[in-house]
Amino acid sequence: MKERRIELAERAAEVREALAGAARRAGRAPGDITLVAVSKFHPASDVRALAGAGQADFGENYVQEAQAKREELADLGLNWHFIGGLQSNKARFVAGNFCLVHSVDSRKLAQALHKKASELGVVQDILIQVNIACEEQKSGITEENLIPLAEEVMGMGGVRLVGLMTLPPFFDDPARARPVFARLRELRDALEGRLGHRLPHLSMGMTGDFVPAVEEGATLVRIGTRIFGARPRRI
């Protein structure tokens, strides 16, 4: 069996190449897209191995799991992204510990992050997660609620809104996710005008659909399976 370190480095390099190709086809600079390696359910040893190959940004979904990895890997100075559903009563464990929270979907959560960040004397960068296809089981706010939430967030000094995130429905054909990604970009453009505030980031695209996401303007892609392989059920 190939050494895990080499396997991970090779897979990440393949993803980077595919990302760069999609960026060039769309007339974009590959350097404008950050690959967030989604390490949920994978061991800290995998993160360490991939960090050794130059990967700096990692995404986690669960507060406790993320905290354990952050502690174990504190020597590496990684950029941790919180990408999972977050209850406002756990926001205090997240504010100030992640470079970006991708999944803000309520006033209550934004308020809790703002409060904790303010106590710590930091500003927490956030994205608002939009549920574009209005799927019942998915988190994210609906399009109608985006402007009111964004306006409220703009008044909270402990958080800084830097863009939007979406998680489209699963499609067998990734091309079907493209309209969802295009819609997120339109919403971002409209919101920038409305708020008079730059929103540089669009977090969209995963293992199955990152190519259309990059073509539609993603600046952050969240990729797990394509790099780490299938997720063990839970650790």
As measured in angstroms, the least distance from the Cβ of 75 to ligand PLP is 25
- If the CB atoms of residues 205 and 217 are measured against ligand PLP, the closer one turns out to be 205
69 interacts with ligand PLP by CB under 6 A: no
- If the CB atoms of residues 35 and 199 are measured against ligand PLP, the closer one turns out to be 35
Of 73-81, 132-140, 194-202, 204-212, the window that binds ligand PLP (rule: CB under 6 A) is 204-212
Tokens 């504190």 belong to which residue?
74
As measured in angstroms, the least distance from the Cβ of 61 to ligand PLP is 5
The pair of structure tokens assigned to 178 is 């493209």
223 interacts with ligand PLP by CB under 6 A: yes
145 interacts with ligand PLP by CB under 6 A: no
As measured in angstroms, the least distance from the Cβ of 102 to ligand PLP is 7
Please pick, from the candidates 107, 207, 219, 229, the single residue that binds ligand PLP as defined by CB under 6 A: 207
Chain residues in the site for ligand PLP (CB under 6 A): 38, 40, 61, 83-84, 167, 206-208, 222-226
